[in-house]
């Protein structure tokens, strides 16, 4: 039977070299990791040296859009970039220091970033960025005017080459000689959760928190319960 979902191509850069973590070649895993976050680490090469900056992103099918102002001076004309999104899910506390580690999900995307210059695509990219981080905000907030659009750098990156790694579960030394020593071992989970919306102090005091924002309290980033276009 043919695989239901397309596999990510294996290249020299994405071949998994370590054994402990599990690599995934499923596009669905890549997309789930990207959709569960909204801040990536964008790596570029500046004068032969690496520069890694955090920036917001959004996914539209097989394309990522990135807010590119920080790195824009380094990205004239299809520069090679590496975009990494990591979710830390917990500390793996093993019997031995050597087996300690982290439960995590990460996607490392390689490609050439394209500066979006067409105003329509830029607007569409900003919509993707905004709705990815804050579902429901695009139609709630005032949209960008021509001046604001011109002052914004949006980058596009095709999701063609990516390395996905996922580690879950307990430590790996539960059936080794260290298990006899009686030490506790397990995972200390780490979870990021949206809190109570904090109104701008300059707001009139009776301004209601809109539903698409209020509903996110207590949910995790990327959770679809939190908002979105109904």
Give the footprint of a second copy on residues 84-123 (CB under 8 A). 84, 86, 88, 90-91, 93-98, 100, 102, 104, 106, 108, 110
CA-only gyration radius of the chain, Å: 21
For the segment 115-174, give every residue that binds a second copy (CB under 8 A). Answer: 126, 130, 133-134, 137-138, 140-145, 148, 151-152, 170-171, 174
Residue 55's beta-bridge partner residues? Answer: 40
Indicate which single residue of 48, 61, 77, 230 sits in contact with a second copy (rule: CB under 8 A).
Answer: 48
In whole angstroms, how close is the CB of 22 to a second copy at the nearest point? 14
For the segment 56-75, give every residue that binds a second copy (CB under 8 A). Answer: 56, 69-70, 73
Please state the length of the chain.
Answer: 230
CB nearer to a second copy: pick between 2 and 229: 229
Give the angle 167-65-109 at the CA atoms, nearest 5°. Answer: 35
CB nearer to a second copy: pick between 6 and 186: 186
In whole angstroms, how close is the CB of 2 to a second copy at the nearest point? 32
Whether the Cβ atoms of residue 119 and residue 209 lie closer than 8 Å to each other: no
DSSP character at residue 8: P
Closest Cα partner for 30 from 102, 106, 129, 81? 106
* 3-state secondary structure (DSSP) of residue 149: helix
CB nearer to a second copy: pick between 117 and 207: 207
In whole angstroms, how close is the CB of 61 to a second copy at the nearest point? 21
Dig out the tokens for 81 from the structure: 């970039």
Dig out the tokens for 113 from the structure: 């970033």
For the segment 181-220, give every residue that binds a second copy (CB under 8 A). Answer: 181-204, 207-210, 213, 216
Dig out the tokens for 169 from the structure: 């579960």
What region does 193 belong to: left with phi over 0, alpha with psi -120 to 50, or beta?
Answer: beta
Q: Which stretch binds a second copy (CB under 8 A): 1-9, 26-34, 39-47, 57-65?
A: 39-47
CB nearer to a second copy: pick between 126 and 155: 126
CB nearer to a second copy: pick between 32 and 88: 88
What are the DSSP calls for 35-88, one per residue?
HT-SEEEEEEEETTEEEEEEEEEEEETTEEEEE-TTTGGG-SSS-EEEEEEEEE
In whole angstroms, how close is the CB of 145 to a second copy at the nearest point? 8
CB nearer to a second copy: pick between 26 and 172: 172
* Residue count, binding to a second copy (CB under 8 A): 95
Dig out the tokens for 102 from the structure: 């982290």
CB nearer to a second copy: pick between 4 and 12: 12
């Amino acid at each position: 039977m043919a695989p239901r979902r397309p596999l990510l191509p294996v290249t020299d850069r994405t071949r998994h070299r370590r054994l402990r973590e599990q690599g995934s070649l499923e596009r669905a895993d890549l997309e789930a990791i990207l959709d569960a976050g909204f801040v990536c680490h964008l790596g570029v090469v500046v004068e032969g040296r690496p520069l890694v900056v955090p920036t917001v992103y959004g996914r539209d099918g097989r394309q990522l859009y990135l807010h590119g102002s920080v790195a824009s001076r380094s990205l004239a004309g299809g520069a090679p970039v590496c975009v990494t999104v990591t979710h830390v899910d917990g500390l793996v506390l093993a019997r031995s220091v050597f087996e300690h580690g982290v439960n995590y999900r990460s996607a490392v995307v390689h490609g050439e970033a394209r500066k979006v210059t067409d105003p329509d695509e830029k607007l569409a990219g900003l919509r993707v960025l905004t709705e990815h981080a804050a579902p429901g905000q695009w139609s709630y907030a005032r949209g960008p005017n021509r001046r604001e659009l011109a002052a914004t750098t949006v980058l596009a990156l095709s999701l063609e080459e990516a390395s996905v790694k996922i580690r879950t579960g307990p430590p790996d030394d539960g059936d080794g000689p260290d298990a006899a020593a009686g030490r506790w071992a397990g995972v200390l989970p780490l979870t990021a959760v949206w809190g109570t919306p904090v109104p701008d102090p300059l707001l009139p005091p009776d301004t209601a928190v809109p539903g698409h924002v209020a509903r996110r309290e207590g949910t995790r980033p990327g959770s679809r319960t939190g908002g979105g276009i109904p």
